[in-house]
Structure 1
Amino acid sequence: MKLQSLGAICVLIILTVGLLDGCVEPPESMIHWTQVKDSIQAIYAPDKRVAWFDVELKQDGKQLLLSGVTDQQEALQVLLSKLHDAGETVVNQVTVLPDSSVGDMRYAVVNNSVCNIRSEHRHSAELATQALLGMTLKVLQRLEEWYLVQSPDGYISWVDHGGVQLMTGSEQLKWSKSPKVVYLRNYGNAYGDTQGTTVLSDLVLGDCLVRRGTVDGMVEVQFPDRRIGYVPIDEVADFRTWRESVVPSGELVVAYAQSLLGSPYLWGGTSTKGMDCSGFTKMAYLMNGYIIPRDASQQVHAGTVVDPNLTFEGLEKGDLLFFGRAATDSTRQRVTHVGLWMGDSTFIHSSQQVRISSVDSNALQYDEFNKNRYLGSRRYLGTMVGISHWY
């Protein structure tokens, strides 16, 4: 019995020591370097949707082990320099994107009318965003049949191999320099013959294809994977001519927005097949020649502030209206919805479907819910703050 009691005591001591060992706090140096890493991340990659700096530090004996993944090489160099200047011995195992899995295929050109870009490398993952036919994506990593890509608006997510055509730098340059047409209908088709009897692919507003010539009232086009198709000549325009003729204006933004009325709401959608609130504003501005940030919570930081007093005064057609939860003493502002100002107290937005609402309490389309959570507006026209030109 005494031996059994002694054994129980020994086991209890071992368990207690083990528990205490698991509760040991990291040394002050690790706390310090974690704070340094976090401060670097806040500068170079504050928004993981458009910049990755997933770096971890671990004490490994007398050395620091760095692991993780980043596309911000400069940020990693800043961290390494600080560690080396402090005399730390560092083992750097951080993967820098694009990584070696990409090889020479550093670009992926969208090969379907719309390609779905997901938050994770599986088909059941959340739809993060979309990209249109002919758009070039940067490839950051390859994982079997999935590619981690960055879209023209900076968004980083995953696309499956069926939606894109991989290209080398020289192939992508040739594609970008080739004469193109832009599709100007909300929906349509490219055909496998000049009679339009065999559908080769569907098309949506904003799709771009290489122009090869005209045959019997059809434009002969080439897809990124070199398929040849034919599109009715009155449904497309020469991209360069169209782009140079577009004069961005509030009237034109609203015109494109209104052409999308009734389009279904689709979380993550940015095309006429379906769009969420920010995908809708993004599409209206794309057809005015602008690439704007992807999400409403990003769009609110672009352009210039208008209507700071939240009175719906001084707004112009095409201004972006933002809605959500106002900041409090304990919480930050949270933008969850966006629409486009049309004038006359009305705005157009994607909510259930693309529709028009009013902030006038006497109007038939009065939207009390959104009026009560209005956070402010931004003007993109006349400024390039946070936005860029399409090609």
Structure 2
Amino acid sequence: MLQEIQNELVEIKQDFDARTQFCEVTATAWENGRCQLGGKVLDGAILTAVINQLTIRFPSVDFEATAVALLRQPHMPTLTVCTNLTGLHRRPSRISEQMNQLLNGWTVEPLFTEGSWTFVRQMDGYLGWVQSGYLCDPPAPPPTHMVGSPVCLLYTKADESTPLVGRVMGSTAVHATIVSANWARITLAGGRVGFARLDGLRPLNALPGDENGRRQQIIAAARQLLGVPYQWGGCTALGI
């Protein structure tokens, strides 16, 4: 009976969309008509759905699910992406499928860790693995601007002849302090600071509020990305 229940759990798992739902439930013990379940699920709704399906298939069995861990709890902590760009992977490995990319300052919910990787939930509900070293506890400084160019270069000073501090990808929301007619001081999540030209930034409070204005801005931004190579899961000028 235990193996039959386990086989059914494998089938039930296929009903969930792994991009936004997590279900890893196993049948761990069987005794006197009672089956002990273990493993992890994203939340109580998924666990309830699993139990309901098992009860339909095995109406005479009493299922005990107290050992199944619920990954999402009320008041979940969050972590912030503190590198300029990192991948969201299907498995805890750099060579696994990249399902999406995360920009500096994005917030994620950490669900559990495995080695040097953290399984996270994005704010839009998508799930995946991120290298733990690219996540930090402090929240990003409050954003004031969005990077409007495909790539924004950060310099050590407000001078293009000075060394580069790094690069910030288009659509990243940043905290900018205007220091001159052409330059702003940028503070990124994770503490990196540099200077960027203002013509590559858009004030958040000046973004179009009407549908036509937003449409025109999207078209203008898309034109800047003509010729960008294809990359599975990519969302920047390095690959889309």
TM-score (norm 1): 0.51
| Aligned counterpart in structure 1 of residue 149 of structure 2, from 185, 188, 202 | 185
* Residue of structure 2 in register with 1:290 after alignment: none
Contact 2:81–2:106 (CA under 8 A) maintained in structure 1: yes
Check if 1:94 corresponds to 2:75.
no
C-alpha distance in structure 1 between counterparts of 2:129 and 2:36, whole Å: 28
> Which of 200, 206, 215 is residue 179 of structure 2 equivalent to?
215
- Residue identity matched to 1:97: L
Partner of 2:214: 248
Deviation, 1:258, is 2.8
- Structure 1 pair 151/256, CA: closer, same or farther in 2 (3 Å)? same
Deviation string 1:338-360 (CA, Å, 9 cap, x unpaired) is xxxxxxxxxxxxxxxxxxxxxxx
Could you list the per-position Cα deviations for residues 94-118 of structure 1 after superposition, in whole angstroms to 9, with x for gaps in the alignment? 222148xxxx983222222221122
Alignment match, 1:130: 101
Q: Cα RMSD over matched residues?
A: 3.2
TM alignment of 1:31-70, pairs within 5 A = 34=8, 38=12, 42=15, 46-62=16-32, 63-70=34-41
The superposition leaves residues 118-141 of structure 1 with CA deviations (integer Å, 9 ceiling, x where unpaired) of 221122322221012222222211
Secondary structure of 1:240's counterpart equals helix
CA–CA distance in 2 between the matches of 1:38 and 1:105? 27
2:107 counterpart letter in structure 1: T
In structure 2, give the amino acid aligned to 1:90: E
Could you tell me which amino acid in structure 1 is paired with residue 155 of structure 2?
A: Y
Q: Number of aligned residue pairs: give it.
A: 230
Change (3 A) 1:240 1:94: farther
Distance 2:185 2:230 in 1: 33
Matches within 5 A, 1:304-315: none
1:266 paired with 2:236, answer: no
Displacement over 6 Å in runs of 4+: none
Q: 2:143·2:173 contact (CA, 8 Å) conserved in 1? A: no
Q: Post-superposition shift, 1:152? A: 3.6
Change (3 A) 1:214 1:87: same
Cα distance in 1 for partners of 2:87, 2:66 equals: 34
Aligned equivalents of 2:222, 2:108: Cα separation in 1: 25
Note if contact 1:132-1:271 (Cα within 8 Å) is conserved in structure 2.
no
Equivalent residues in 2 for 1:165-184 (5 A)? 165-167=136-138, 172=139, 175=140, 178-184=142-148
Q: Return the alpha-carbon distance in structure 1 between the equivalents of residues 170 and 63 of structure 2.
A: 55
Q: CA deviation at 1:273?
A: 0.8
Deviation at 1:186, TM superposition (A): 0.9
Overall identity of the aligned pairs, in %: 19
Q: Which residue of 2 aligns with 1:202?
A: 167
Work out whether residues 20 and 127 of structure 2, in 8 Å CA contact, stay in contact via their aligned partners in 1: yes
Q: Name the SS for the 1:248 alignment partner.
A: helix
Inter-partner Cα distance in structure 1 for 2:175 and 2:60: 55
Unaligned runs of 5+ in 1: 1-25, 276-391
Give the distance between the partners of 1:27 and 1:232, measured in 2 at CA: 64
* TM-score normalised by structure 2 residue count: 0.79
Q: Which residue of 1 aligns with 2:204?
A: 239
Aligned partners of 1:106 and 1:166 also within 8 Å? no
* Compared CA separation, residues 240 and 164, structure 1 to 2 (3 A): farther
Corresponding residue SS for 2:214: coil
- 1:151: Cα distance to partner? 2.3
Partner of 1:380: none
User: How far apart in 2 are the matches of 1:29 and 1:188?
Assistant: 56
| Stretches of structure 2 lacking an aligned partner (at least 5 in a row) | none
CA contact (8 A) 1:53 1:72 kept: no
Displacement of 1:59: 4.4
Deviations 1:142-165 (A, max 9, x none): 234211112243221111134332
Letter in 2 for 1:186: P
The answer to whether the 8 A contact 1:184-1:235 is kept is: yes
Distance in 2 (CA, whole Å) between partners of 1:27 and 1:164 is: 40
Aligned to 1:160: 131
Instruction: Specify the SS of the correspondent of 2:207.
Output: helix
Of structures 1 and 2, the one with the larger relative CO (CA 8 A, separation 6+) is: 2
**Letter of the aligned partner of 2:178 in structure 1?**
T
Task: Determine the C-alpha separation between the residues in 2 that align with 1:137 and 1:117.
Answer: 11
Residue-by-residue CA offset, 1:271-311 (whole Å, 9 max, x unaligned): 11111xxxxxxxxxxxxxxxxxxxxxxxxxxxxxxxxxxxx
The equivalent residue for 2:92 is 121
The change in CA–CA distance for 1:87 and 1:181 in structure 2 (over 3 A counts) is same
Mapped to 2, the partners of 1:261 and 1:129 lie a distance apart of: 20
| Residues 354-377 of structure 1, C-alpha deviations (whole Å, 9 max, x = no match) | xxxxxxxxxxxxxxxxxxxxxxxx
